[in-house]
Amino acid sequence: MFLNAHTHHLSDQTDVLELYNQFPNELNNEAKLFSIGIHPAYIKTSSIKEEIEIINQTISNKNCLAIGEIGLDKLCETDFELQINVFKKQLEIAMQYQLPVIIHSVRAYQEILQIRKQMKLTIPFIFHGFNKNEQLLNQIIAQNCFASFGKNLLSNKNLQIIFANLSANQFFLENDASEISIEEIYTFAADLRKITIEELQLQQAENWKAVFGYEVQS
């Protein structure tokens, strides 16, 4: 099974299982498994209360495996203090329900890690679309968090070196909003790590069980 830890596309393939990204105001009932959250770029002051309520109502669904994608983005137009406020509100929900969090970060990794420390959070963070350096990745791992790799793995040489040397239990794979298939990402990732696709699939299944509490049926 090809496990996709973060995507904005629904696949109809029987050998693909994805964690579909849901927005509170655009719920798709066709998603088998999903995360839900308010993306920092789409925060609207007028609807925050309503969307937080939708998250609270939806999160009890057994198919909801995570909160996200949520986080901080210094390049979007949303006021940064407002982003922090909405981010913290959603982290409180994640902590209450003991769910992992899919993290969106644009030039805000240190702020997110600092908030994690300040709030004394123990729930896993999965920094999706990771495309940074080894030093930052080590900081993430040191806080018992994870990185998820997608399309950038196919073209970034430094990222490929970092990824090839990661422990098997420290990462996830995704295709996010790209048109690149999750199968292509798995094929490339397995080659980088010099293992078979089947071995990589088994490793990812273990990570899904450990972090999302979801056991993949063989």
C-alpha 148/C-alpha 215 separation (Å) is: 19
Q: Is 9 annotated as a binding residue?
A: no
Q: Is 30 annotated as a binding residue?
A: no
Q: Is 8 annotated as a binding residue?
A: no
Q: Is 71 left (phi over 0), alpha (psi -120 to 50) or beta?
A: left
For residue 214, give the 3-state DSSP assignment.
coil
CA 133 to chain centre: 18
DSSP state of 36: E
Q: Which of 102, 135, 116, 103 is nearest to 212 (CA)?
A: 102
**Sequence-ordered list of residues with C-beta below 8 angstroms from that of 116, at least 6 positions apart, any chain:** 125, 143, 145
Q: Is 104 annotated as a binding residue?
A: yes
C-alpha 36/C-alpha 212 separation (Å) is: 14
**Sequence-ordered list of residues with C-beta below 8 angstroms from that of 214, at least 6 positions apart, any chain:** 33, 65, 208
Residues flagged as binding site? 69, 104, 128, 176
Residues flagged as binding site for a divalent metal cation? 69, 104, 128, 176
